[in-house]
Structure formats: structure tokens, C-alpha cells
Chain A
């Protein structure tokens, strides 16, 4: 099983299980920007009735759930990591928490048809990719934002992005990156 097949398998299991989720992180920035290699997929999951251990066991022997949970410092989000041993690819499941932007991001998620995933998948909007990556602001996040704005900037709801950038204190960084993207 290749990395994309491993990812499609996990998405398929989430869909079949009726689990509330959306794809975020590099997958979503690739969708709206310039694709780059990534060794992990970030998936935000509503844990209402969701048992991570049972879910992991149901994926099959090729997958291993990391027993060490991690907490992300910016938003206090809890992360679980699923390893696909053969490909080295990992899928990170983030528990949807009370962060106001994450709540709104989840409510704005949209469907994308992906034949390899046997149907449609839930993805983040382009605006929410920018807002979240501004918060992380690692070098690769800033590159992703510039690329996303250059590719998809014309269609973004900038009022929405500006509103959250003000809340998060990232407005100046956003202005710099928009200028860099020529937007």
C-alpha cells in the first residue's frame, strides 16, 4: 500500500463510520496552492462517539497507533498519530476542541470529489488554511501561504481572513505575505 492509498483507506473508514472530520494541514494547502511532498496528513476529527483505539484496530495490521498522545501549544489540541509502516507515511488525528477558529473552520468545511477515496471527502476552505498557517508561521507554512495566495488568492474571502488575522495578531505577517505573492 502506497502513502496515498493508506490515506485513502483511512478517509474511507472515517466516511463509512459516519465520523465528522476534515482534512487540514499540508494536504489542504496543496489543494489550493502548489503541491509539495509531505510525510503526513492532518485530519481534524470530532470525537463525539469516536473511539480512536477501535478505529485504529479496524484499519488492519499495516497501521500502528502511537500510544503517546501529544498536545499542541497554540490551541491546546490533542493529537493522535497513526503510522503506516510500509510507506513511512503518518496520519495525524486532531481532536476538534474549543478553539474558536477551529470551530468555525469545521463549520465551513466543504466537500471535494476524489475518485481514489471512493467518493467525496471533507476539506478545509482556502481561507481557513491561510488563517491556520499564519498561526503556525514556520518557514514551510509561510511558503505554503505565499503559494496559496498566488494560485488561489483571487477567489478568497479576504474579509473573513482579515477578521481572524486580527484576532490572532497576524495581520502584519499576512500583509507581508500578500505583498510577496504579488497580491
Chain B
């Protein structure tokens, strides 16, 4: 059974569900009944915590979570390229985010010719 906890960042309480610990050897295998039970328990916990969050916090949570994700990305790029300066790391982060965005928007948006 996974553990659940709260993380507080910038004053907002964000539900976090710890589903796996790679140091443990007793995790259920995917597709087994125990894995299914685990997934169900995680799902139920996720839904209950979302219901308990104040609406105004939920509205801004997406942007706050993005800041956390971006910080992790910057740390990861820095670890991969220890000789790069902050500017290079920032540019690479922007490039990666733009690539994800381009993939998600493919076939949906097209440039509008002002003329």
C-alpha cells in the first residue's frame, strides 16, 4: 500500500501520493490483483484529497505545480551539462517545454495570416 502525504509549497497544500519505493523488493507486479488494489486505493485517495482542497487553491495549483516541475527540469539539465551557465540551461529548458507544447498542439492550431 502506498503512503500519502501533503506537500506545502508557496502556501498551497498539494496532495502527493507516494506509490513506489525503488529500494523495496516487495512491490506488487503490474497486472496482479494486489497491483489493481493498490491502483484503486491511490485513485480513491487522490479523489478524496482533491475534494477536500479549497477551490481557490485548486485554481492556482496548476501554475504552482508548474514552477516546481520547471525547477526540477532546470536541476536535471544542470546535472547533465555541469559546464553550462544559467542562460544556456534556461534556453534548453524553454526548448524542451516548447517541444512538448508543439506536439500537443499539432493539428489543432495553425498560424493566422494577419492579411
Which residues on A are within 8 Å of B, measured CB to CB? 2-4, 6-8, 23, 26-27, 30-31, 33-41, 68-74, 78-79, 87-89, 112-116, 121, 123, 136, 138, 140, 147, 150-151
Contacts and interface: CB of A to CB of B under 8 A. Distances in A.
Nearest to A181: B47
Contacts, number: 114
B110 A37 contact: no
Categorize the interface residue count of chain B. 35 or more
Contacts of A73: 107-110
B72 to A, nearest CB: 10
B107 to A, nearest CB: 7
B60 A116 contact: yes
Contacts of A87: 66-67, 70
B60 A7 contact: yes
B94 A35 contact: no
A7 B63 contact: yes
A73 B109 CA distance: 6
A38 B66 contact: yes
Interface in B93-108: 93-94, 97, 101, 104, 107-108
Contacts of B97: 39, 88
Given A7-B60, A38-B66, A113-B56, A71 B50 contact: no
Contacts of B93: 88
Overall SS of chain B's interface? helix
Nearest to B44: A150
B50 A41 contact: no
A3 B64 contact: yes
Interface in B29-47: 43, 46-47
B68 interface: yes
A36 B65 contact: yes
B53 A39 contact: no
B69 A37 contact: yes
B13 to A, nearest CB: 11
B14 to A, nearest CB: 7
B61 interface: yes
17 contacts: A2-B64, A7-B60, A8-B60, A23-B59, A31-B55, A31-B58, A37-B69, A39-B97, A41-B62, A72-B109, A74-B108, A89-B63, A114-B56, A114-B60, A147-B46, A150-B47, A151-B51
